[in-house]
Amino acid sequence: MNTITSGNRGSVLIVDEMHVSLLPMLEKIGYVPDYQPKIQRQEIMDILGNYEGMLIRSKTRVDDELLKNATQLKFIGRAGAGIDLIDEVVAEERGIVVFAANEGNRVAVAEHIIGMLLVLMNNLLIADRQVREGKWLREENRGYELLGKTVGIIGYGNNGAETAKRLSAFGCKVLAYDKYKVGFSDAYATEATMKEIFDKADILSLHIPLTKETFQLVNSNFLNSFANDIYFVNASRGEVVVLEAIVEGLNSGKIKGACLDVLENEKLSQLNQKQKETFDQLIKSDKVIFSPHIAGWTHESYVRINEVLIEKIEKLFN
């Protein structure tokens, strides 16, 4: 373990698996990295008082208990988008700056969403499986084009804006709603109300953090508010969506297809009975495609996230 040393700003504890390029990047701006990706929660609590910074990804929940000994901690950075794992109020009370590398994986997320939509709307998984089984079914696998579709995007931050940029290149009309922004229409999306999205969208893509406001935002009432039957995409946070409502929408036809990169419980071996029943129905549907929370998880973004973290540390403390 590296402790704070004279001649440098101090040590940074890295508690998750991250691309090793992070270590020389931290050293270059004057910090001593302490890379402990296998460290457990109690161990973090025991040693956190020795560090000026901590960098996390997804395994560590940062709350008052974890920070009780963090007397020297100045910042907590998350290698990824969103800071729902961090109690911002507690951190602020302790004078700790919190930030995430939201910009680092926005291209990866946007490209992943496009890929999922193209696969779903063109029946590529179904057709591939059938051909491997010796079936050559052309008419049954006739697909739909993105061109001319109206896409509703909820949340117009880094990922939402980058996704809008990609979708507009396919000839989509993009309507974007963001509760906390106004006047953000640009070349790729038009600012809209939720009512306009409910009335006009053919495709819905979520780009919102997990908060008390967004928890289970997408339920049956929400989905039934759409005038059109829609394709549904969630690459944000699983707990934003009530998965039972997705099953209901698929059964009723309100949802033409769903792209799910995230789930309410991503520990598939630990699903409760209700979650297992819902998941079993989803995996039986050819109208659903999954990926294991990898929308922002490319080889390029793995490094880019580190670059964004370093840029933010430098900006905040130089």
Q: Cite the active site residues.
A: 237, 266, 293
What is the Cα–Cα distance from 48 to 60, expressed in whole angstroms?
Answer: 13
77 pairs with which residues across the strands?
55, 99
Query: In the chain, which residue ranges form alpha helices assigned H by DSSP?
Result: 22-28, 41-47, 88-93, 106-121, 124-132, 158-169, 194-200, 220-223, 243-252, 273-283, 299-317
CA distance 200 to 151: 8
- Residue 90, CB half-sphere, CA atoms under 13 Å: how many? 16
The answer to whether 205 touches 113, Cβ cutoff 8 Å, is yes
Per-position DSSP letters for 67-131, written without gaps between them:
TTT-TT--EEEESSS--TTB-HHHHHHTT-EEEE-GGGGHHHHHHHHHHHHHHHHTTHHHHHHHH
How close are the terminal C-alpha atoms of the chain, in Å? 25
- Rg over CA atoms, the chain: 22
Instruction: Taking each helix axis as running N to C, give the angle between helix 243-252 and helix 273-283, from 0 to 180 degrees, rounded to the nearest 10.
Output: 40
| Beta bridge partners of residue 190, listed in sequence order | 175
